[in-house]
C-alpha cells in the first residue's frame, strides 16, 4: 500500500531570519596603509580586543572622496586584528561596486539615532553647619517597549544586546561578559566586563554603573580599556561614561 509522506518530509535545514550584533568601523580615510598603521597603534594596548567579530565598514565619512578605496587591503588590515569584514554601507556607487567586487555585501543605511530628552531632576540644597550638600534624586528607569532588563548575573562568555533601546542590568556583569545597547546601559551592580553603549552611533548614549570596574567601556565606537587603572574617584564606585566630542569621559555620579 502506498503511503503519502509529502506532509511529513523533512529537509536537512531550515531558513530563519537572524539579527546579530556587528562592529561598525567608520572609515575617515581612503588610504588603506594609513588605516593599517592606525589600527596597529590602537590595538597595541589590547591585542585581544576582538575575537573574530563580524565587521561592517561604514563609508559615510568618505563618500565624497575622489580617491578609490582598496577594499582588499582594508579587509586584510582588519583581519590582522581578529575581525571578519562582511559588509559595507554608506558609500557612493563606485565605492559600493568596488566593495562588492572584494566580496563584501551591501548593508542597509543606518537610521538616524533618536535621542529622548529626559526631564532634569529636581535639585535640593541641604546646608549643615559649614558643609554644603546637594542631593539629586535618582530614578531607576522604567522598562519600556525598547528597554531590555536583565535580572540575573552575566558570566564570562555571555552577551546581551539591547537592539534599538536601553539595557538595564540588575546583577553583576562578570569579567569576560559583554553588554551592548543602541541606547544607554545601566548596571545596578558591579560592572566588570565589557559595556558598549550607542552601538549604532548614538553619541548621546551613556553607561551608568553603581560599581565601575570594567574590562572595557565604549560609546558610539570610542572606547577605553582599563589596563590603565581608573582614577580613585571612579574605580569601584558609582560612575558614568559619556562622550564629549570624540573624548570619552568617566565621571563620578
- Sheet of strand 216-219: strand arrangement: 159-162, 178-181, 194-197, 216-219, 222-225
192 within 8 A of 210, measured Cβ to Cβ: no
241 within 8 A of 219, measured Cβ to Cβ: yes
105 within 8 A of 88, measured Cβ to Cβ: yes
Instruction: Please give the pLDDT value at position 137.
Output: 43
- pTM given for the model: 0.47
Q: Which ranges of the chain have pLDDT less than 70?
A: 1-10, 15-21, 46, 48, 110-145, 226-228
Contact partners, residue 13, CB within 8 Å, separation at least 6: none
Instruction: Please give the pLDDT value at position 19.
Output: 59
pLDDT digits (tens, 9 = 90+) for 14-32: 766 555 667 788 898 999 9
pLDDT digits (tens, 9 = 90+) for 162-190: 888 899 999 999 888 899 999 999 999 99
Instruction: Please give the pLDDT value at position 18.
Output: 57
Torsion of CA 155, 158, 162, 163, to 10 degrees: 170
CA distance 58 to 61: 8
How many CB atoms neighbour CB 237 within 10 A?
Answer: 16
DSSP 107: -
**From its phi and psi, is residue 224 left (phi > 0), alpha (psi between -120 and 50) or beta?**
beta
Where are the alpha helices (H) located in 1-68, listed in sequence order? 32-43
Is the dihedral angle over the CA atoms 169, 178, 215, 23 positive or is it negative? negative
Amino acid at each position: 500500500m502506498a503511503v503519502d509522506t509529502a506532509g511529513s518530509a523533512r529537509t536537512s535545514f531550515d531558513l530563519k531570519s537572524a539579527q546579530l550584533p556587528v562592529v561598525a568601523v567608520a572609515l575617515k580615510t581612503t588610504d588603506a596603509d594609513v588605516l593599517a598603521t592606525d589600527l596597529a597603534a590602537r590595538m597595541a594596548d589590547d591585542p585581544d580586543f576582538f575575537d573574530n567579530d563580524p565587521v561592517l565598514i561604514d563609508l559615510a565619512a568618505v563618500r565624497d572622496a575622489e580617491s578609490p578605496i582598496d577594499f582588499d587591503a582594508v579587509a586584510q588590515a582588519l583581519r590582522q586584528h581578529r575581525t571578519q569584514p562582511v559588509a559595507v554601507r554608506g558609500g557612493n556607487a563606485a565605492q559600493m561596486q568596488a566593495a562588492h567586487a572584494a566580496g563584501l555585501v551591501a548593508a542597509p543605511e543606518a537610521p538616524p539615532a533618536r535621542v529622548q530628552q529626559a526631564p532634569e531632576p529636581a535639585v535640593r540644597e541641604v546646608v549643615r553647619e559649614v558643609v554644603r550638600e546637594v542631593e539629586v534624586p535618582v530614578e531607576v528607569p522604567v522598562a519600556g517597549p525598547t528597554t531590555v532588563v536583565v535580572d540575573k548575573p552575566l558570566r564570562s562568555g555571555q552577551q546581551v544586546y539591547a537592539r534599538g533601546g536601553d539595557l538595564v542590568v540588575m546583577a553583576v556583569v562578570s569579567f569576560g561578559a559583554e553588554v551592548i545597547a543602541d541606547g544607554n546601559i545601566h548596571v545596578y551592580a558591579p560592572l566588570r566586563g565589557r559595556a558598549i553603549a550607542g552601538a549604532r552611533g548614538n553619541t548621546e548614549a551613556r553607561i551608568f554603573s553603581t560599581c565601575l570596574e570594567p574590562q572595557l567601556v565604549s560609546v558610539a565606537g570610542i572606547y577605553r580599556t582599563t589596563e590603565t587603572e581608573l582614577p580613585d574617584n571612579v574605580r569601584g564606585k558609582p560612575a558614568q561614561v559619556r562622550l564629549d566630542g570624540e573624548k570619552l569621559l568617566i565621571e563620578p555620579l
